[in-house]
Amino acid sequence: MKKLSMDELNRISSEEFKKKEKFPLILILDNIRSMMNTGSVFRTSDAFRLEGIYLCGITATPPHREINKTALGATESVEWKYFEKTTDAIKLLKNKGYVIVALEQTSESKDLMHFKPDKNKKYAIIFGNEVKGVENEALSLCDFCIEIPQFGTKHSLNVAVTAGIVVYSFFMKLA
């Protein structure tokens, strides 16, 4: 076994990335406090060549040193937009035909392991604030919620970790 070199990885440039077909998924970051979490979500979005990220409320926007620490240049490849209100981002996407899904623990959440996305639909997934979760106003506009089953004492995962899990799950089910 040999570790692959950077040349062997066949990495594409940011310009090439922008021209490639995107995986039909948009991530909505609803008032994320940590810029490192935001940067990590950019990096995950780059890895799976997602359509984009919508940064909302207090979520910081590039360029910023703290975001760049974890994004490692992904802010240059991944499309992003800023919205003062998360509800405005949701309404825009709904008008474009996206299914709006919140990652949130609710009385009606669907288990991510059993959720089967429809290959003929485009999805936008909302990830909420590290303490308060998805804001109630945004939640009321969602088509449904999903959650990651958890079996420990916290029932809480870091937002960047959850984004990685959910994006990978959608990718595997839709690719």
Entry pTM: 0.96
Q: Annotate the chain with DSSP letters as a single string.
A: --PPPTTTTTPPPHHHHHHSPPEEEEEEEES---HHHHHHHHHHHHHTTEEEEEEETT---SS-HHHHHHHTTGGGTS-EEEESSHHHHHHHHHHTTEEEEEE---TTPEETTT----TTSEEEEEE-BTTTBS-HHHHTT-SEEEE----SSS----HHHHHHHHHHHHHHHH-
Pairing mode, if any, of strands 110-111 and 144-147? parallel
pLDDT at 175: 84
**pLDDT-based confidence at 76, cuts 50/70/90?**
very high
pLDDT at 7: 86
Structure tokens at 20: 């490639």
CATH number attached to the domain at 20-174: 3.40.1280.10
Extents of the domains making up the chain: 20-174
Distance CA 153, CA 6 (A): 40
pLDDT at 42: 98
149-166 pLDDT, tens digit each: 999 999 899 999 999 999
Half-sphere exposure (Cβ direction) of 34: Cα atoms closer than 13 Å: 18
Counting residues of the chain whose pLDDT is more than 90, the rounded percentage is 96
pLDDT at 36: 97
State yes or no: pLDDT of 6 exceeds 90: no
Average pLDDT, the chain: 96
